[in-house]
Structures are given as structure tokens and as C-alpha cells.
Amino acid sequence: MSNLNKLDFSSVEVFGRNYLKWVQDMKLHLTAKGIRATIEAPIADKLVDEAQKATAMIFIRRHIHDALQTEYLAEEHTLRLALADCFDHQKDIYLPEARHDWQHLRFQDFKSVNEYNFKVCRIRSLLKFYKVQLTESDLLDKTYSTFHAINIVLQ
């Protein structure tokens, strides 16, 4: 691994607010470096070299906040699992929030169509991340249902 000191992506914050994005970035970077197997569940026919495990641990440690590095100092080979135990519950928090945002989304609450579209795309991306599919029909129905009663003719 060349230049471990350079951060390829943002480190996970102390409170884990960006944990889900960090996990995706970490998996992609470890895959690109050919050492993703070091963080996956062990497979009988696929042996992982200790040097690769150490490289992955160094990479993960360099991409977490300094306070978390100190807190998980004793974790040698289970750092990723310890972080997952601490922050993986966020999926349970953000999915209901995304569903709530989708239900209460109203076109008239935005100053421009671009703002509305941005919000719809953000919510749709979150729902897609949690395996909730929205069809084009759902999107159109949502947009039409958010119009004020005076503008119902536009539908």
C-alpha cells in the first residue's frame, strides 16, 4: 500500500454520523487494493495472509477519528467488528427517518423545483440503500399528491 498517510476518503467521526458512507468507501478501497478478504467472513478455501490483515488494519485505523483510535487501541484484528457493533444500528435509525421524510414531502414547501428534486433524489437514494424500491409511478404520484388543491388541474 503506497502512502498510507494520505486519506483517500473522510475518516469516521467520533459519533459515527458518517459511518454508513465510511463503510462503503472502506470496502471499495480495500477491494481496489485487493485485500477486502481480510474484513470478510473467513472462507475455508481462501486463506488470508497476516501481512494483508495488518495492512487492512493500518488502513482502517488511518481512516477513523483520533478519539476512536484511542478507544479501540486494544482491538487488533476485530476493529471493524467493534466499530460495526458500535455504529451499525444507524440503519435502524435512518430508514424510518427516510420513510417519514418521504411521507411528509410536499412540493409547496420548496422555493424551487431544483430544491424539491434534490430532496426527492436524496430520499430515494437512502431508500434504495435500504433496499426499498420506488418506481417512477411512485415518484409521479408523490409529486402530484403534494400539489395544493388549487393547482389540482395540473395533474
CA distance to 19, 20, 23, 146, per residue, from 88 (Å)? 8, 8, 10, 34
- Model-wide pTM > 0.85: no
Q: pLDDT tens digits, the chain, 155 residues: what are they?
A: 444 445 567 888 887 778 888 888 888 888 888 888 777 766 666 677 788 888 888 888 888 888 888 777 777 667 777 787 777 777 788 888 889 998 888 888 889 989 988 998 888 888 888 888 888 888 888 777 776 666 656 55
What per-residue string of b and e applies to 66-82 under the rule 16 or more CB within 10 Å gives b?
eebeeebeeeeeebbee
Q: Which residue has the cell 426527492?
A: 120
Contacts of 87 (CB under 8 A, 6+ apart): 12, 16, 19
